[in-house]
Amino acid sequence: MKKRLLPAILLMACLYGHAQDAKMNAFVANLMAKMTLDEKIGQLNLVTPGGAVTGSVVSQGVDENIRKGAVGGLFGITGPEKVRKAQEIAVNNSRLHIPLIFGLDVIHGHRTIFPIPLGLSCSWDTALIRKSASIAATEATADGLNWAFSPMVDIARDARWGRISEGSGEDPFLGAQIAKAMVQGYQGKDYSSAHNVMACVKHFALYGAAEAGRDYNTVDMGRVKMYEYYLPPYKAAVDAGVGSVMSSFNEIDGVPATGNKWLLTDLLRKQWGFKGFVVSDYTSISEMINHGIGDLQTVSARALSAGLDMDMVAEGFLSTTKKSLAEGKVTQKQIDDACRRILEAKYALGLFTDPYRYMDDTRPAKEILTADTRAAARGIAAHSLVLLKNDQQTLPLQKTGTIALVGPLADSRRNMLGTWSVSGDYTKSVSLLEGIKNVAGSNVNIVYAKGANIADDSMLVKRANALGVEIETDAKSPAELINEAVAAAAKADVIVAALGEAADMTGEASSRSDINIPESQENLLKALVQTGKPVVLVLFNGRPLTLTWEDKHVPAILDAWFAGTEAGNAIADVLFGSYNPSGKITASFPRNVGQIPVYYNHKNTGRPFHGEDFAKFKSDYLDVPNEPLYPFGYGLSYTSFSYGEVKLNKTALKGNETLTATIIVTNTGKYAGEETVQLYISDPVASLTRAVEDLKGFKKVYLQPGESKEVVFTITTNELKFYNSNLQYDWEAGQFFVRIGSNSRDVKSAEVLWSK
Ligand code: BGC
């Protein structure tokens, strides 16, 4: 009976889906039949009235253009009242009353800010990440919005790039899982609830591979690498039903992504079956003039013909498309297709039924920055922290004695939110000093000293402060500040040093060629270490930093990233052991900048170097090992985990058989804790060179002290597949190594033969 019921239900769901599509198609076709050419082009125009947005160009004459039907969407305003005003102009004053779509950079939370995406990814917890996106969607829709410019899924292997902070690190498998979770969190099952927003996966594509880690720089990449390592997260978002895609600033094969037909039509729509609309990045249409492929009319025509539907701020579509149509540079069908896709999105969001659907004045007070969203942010933030070092169990801290809390990031609410938190109010965030006071209890004496400015280099300070003051220069001299800190440390049993980057030292247009802790703070740290007291370094950073000196001399290092509104509380929860850290880094930490790009899934080369010492005529360096300081997947716990051997159900398989790999993980320490068990597969011989290993699965286990659990991975030929020279995704028979462990370096391995 049950067996018969399921196909019937699926069939009914399918028929219902078709009927809904038919209804939408009829509605949109009917509307488009009434639209003039100008009105159709108007739908392709996305404007911003200014405010908390990037870029130097802000749209002019917004109200008038909305009235004329020359605007399809608006971004950069928040609050139901403001959004309603703009919507009223469109609905009451434009000829066809077509509602606007309202977007914003909702990146890691909207008003309640979660850790920066790089930090979030270190939780390896897709359920929590989905939840963070879902809370962000609730807050954003309570604020009148229906479109989030997120998730940002650009793979990055270069920590110099400031925007590595906005993505999920270097691995495509993990990146794809997170992309899917974010889309699901934002969009829900469909848009039937007014608590969901349309997501916008970005920046399509390869933006994270900018040469030299310099933002907006050229990208040059072969197709195999692209398909294997950079495209999977975007594809995962498309497969998860993402409603929109944002094109990137960079070029691909000499053609800027925004005008790249291969990318936006052949790959995205034809190969991947994407049905939503593509929006440009901020003025990325007009920036194609600088790229050197033509004037505004030429580049706008190029973008539209490539499959780009909506022009963010450049107004190239608005000002040139009519002329291009008359001159045969674009077709009516291209204009119609773009217009239709945008209207379909508005239809799906329910805006034609109720243009004010997301503008409920009573919602903000009930749904924004509530006790519940803050509690969720605190828990999620704790999961994103990574314990990089903990000698002699320096951590967790005792709730007795005196703690010297030192450093320019210790008493800073401002720097807790991190980059791209445009709607976050830093005055509502919790500093580390406040968090420690909240969690430590009355038996702990806290002495605080600033100890240093975030940076003393006036050029760096000026540039990092471009969007507002985040790096304050103290009236006291660097020597005075250090002396105060050392005096505070003298009274303490343990020193907690809150050091690192200011929030805007990462993010857009915040690339660095040196990714160290700035010198002013390094001097402070050295002075603190010299006191001989135990030092815990709490690191604030939007990228992997070079920590070679710190790793050698500081007993405990906790990477806190920029953990959001509840940062201080979450960090204190971890410092005092209320939460046992479980985060694992998702981007390798280089030993020095010269190692970049350094990433775990590298190739073997013809002269591989395996060993400790330098070997002449091998692929290595004279002055530094090949391995990063901390490898991908690495992160400690207050407890310790031991791994048994990898047990396979078979060591020889054929065709579509299934392999089961089992390993026993034991908590050998004193604390209960969570471990992320990682599965890597190595394919040492193939028709083209493969990476030394690739992540293919991970599982979380929670273990009490002394407890063991069996962790089982099911492996099929899907996990063996890769893109071959013809860009076919397939597997090849041969020998494979199944590697399971606590990070990409520390794994147990078992061999298997798999034949066709
Ligand atoms: C960024 C995008 C962002 C857009 C709108 C651009 O500068 O690259 O990520 O969504 O601005 O604010």
Confidence of residue 54 (pLDDT cuts 50, 70, 90): very low
Establish whether 295 is a catalytic residue: no
Q: Which two tokens stand for residue 51?
A: 């405010």
Q: Which residues contact 435 (CB under 8 A, 6 or more apart)?
A: 567, 568, 569, 570, 571, 572, 573
Quick one: which of 50, 85, 169 has its CA closest to 422? 50
Domain 641-755 homologous superfamily, CATH: Immunoglobulins (2.60.40.10)
From the list 105, 143, 171, 281, the catalytic residue is 281
SS (H, E, C) 48-67: CCCCCCCCCCCCCCHHHHHH
Delimit the domains of the chain by residue range. 386-595, 641-755
User: Model confidence over 618-646: pLDDT tens digits?
Assistant: 999 999 999 999 999 999 999 999 999 99
- Separation CA 548–CA 436 (nearest Å): 27
User: Model confidence over 346-402: pLDDT tens digits?
Assistant: 999 999 999 999 999 999 999 999 999 999 999 999 999 999 999 999 999 999 999
Best mutation site among 46, 104, 105 for ligand 1 pocket (most ligand atoms within 8 Å of CB): 105
- Separation CA 76–CA 445 (nearest Å): 45
Whose alpha carbon is nearest atom 4 of ligand 1?
282
Quick one: which of 341, 333, 270, 277 has its CA closest to 305? 333
Q: What is the distance in A from the centroid of ligand 1 to the CA of 54?
A: 6
User: What's the average model confidence in pLDDT over 282-300?
Assistant: 98
- Separation CA 255–CA 259 (nearest Å): 7
Burial (CB count within 10 angstroms: exposed 0-12, middle 13-18, buried 19+), residue 8: exposed
Q: What is the distance in A from the centroid of ligand 1 to the CA of 282?
A: 6
Q: Which of 61-70, 92-101, 128-137, 259-268 has the lowest mean pLDDT?
A: 61-70
Whose alpha carbon is nearest atom 5 of ligand 1?
282
Asked whether residue 8 carries a pLDDT value surpassing 80, the answer given is no
Burial annotation 583-617 (CB, 10 A radius, 16+ → b, else e): bbbbbbbbbbbebbebbbbbeeeeeebeeeeeeee
Q: Which residues line ligand 1 (CB under 6 A)?
A: 53-55, 105, 149, 202, 281-282, 508
| pLDDT for position 49 | 87
User: Model confidence over 142-200: pLDDT tens digits?
Assistant: 999 999 999 999 999 999 999 999 999 999 999 999 999 999 999 999 998 999 999 99
User: Model confidence over 315-343: pLDDT tens digits?
Assistant: 999 999 999 999 999 999 999 999 999 99
Asked whether residue 2 carries a pLDDT value surpassing 60, the answer given is no
Q: What is the distance in A from the centroid of ligand 1 to the CA of 158?
A: 20
Beta bridge partners of 589: 630
Are 386-595 and 641-755 the same fold in CATH? no
Burial (CB count within 10 angstroms: exposed 0-12, middle 13-18, buried 19+), residue 734: middle
Q: What is the distance in A from the centroid of ligand 1 to the CA of 559?
A: 27
Asked whether residue 702 carries a pLDDT value surpassing 90, the answer given is yes
Q: Which residues contact 683 (CB under 8 A, 6 or more apart)?
A: 690, 720, 722, 732, 734, 736
pLDDT-above-70 percentage for the chain? 97
> Rg (Cα) of the chain, in Å, rounded?
27
Angle at 642 between CA 754 and CA 170, to 5 degrees: 60
Best mutation site among 279, 506, 508, 510 for ligand 1 pocket (most ligand atoms within 8 Å of CB): 508
Q: CATH for 386-595?
A: 3.40.50.1700
Contact in structure between 74 and 144 (CB atoms under 8 Å): no
Average pLDDT value over all residues in the chain: 96
- Separation CA 53–CA 422 (nearest Å): 8
